[in-house]
Amino acid sequence: MYTGILRYVDIGAGGWTLESSNGETYTLFGNIPSSLTDKKVQIQAKPIQGMGFMMNGASLQVESIKAIG
């Protein structure tokens, strides 16, 4: 389980990141609702190998996501 602020990064084709509460930044893959942009979320995800085009941290495949707080 990962917790943090969901951000959309407009680099190239764009992509999603999670700025976690522990200071880590993750690149996210999967179905992510744009309505959660800039909100604190809790994500159930699995780490995946490889580096995305944004190259800003470990990559996670999102299984579920919900707003918290």
Neighbours of 23 (CB within 10 A): 7
The pLDDT assigned to 69 comes to 81
Query: Is residue 55 situated within a structural domain?
Result: yes
SS3 readout for the chain: CEEEEEEEECCCCCEEEEEECCCCEEEEECCCCHHHCCCEEEEEEEEECCCCCCCCCCEEEEEEEEECC
Burial class (CB in 10 A: 0-12, 13-18, 19+), 55: exposed
The answer to the question of residue 69 being in a domain is no
The predicted pLDDT at position 21 comes to: 82
| Number of compact structural domains in the chain | 1
The CATH number of the domain holding residue 36 is 2.40.50
Domain that holds residue 38: 2-64
What pLDDT, in 10s, does the model give residues 10-60? 877 788 999 998 889 999 999 999 999 999 999 999 999 865 555 567 899
* β-strand pairing of 59-67 with 25-29: parallel
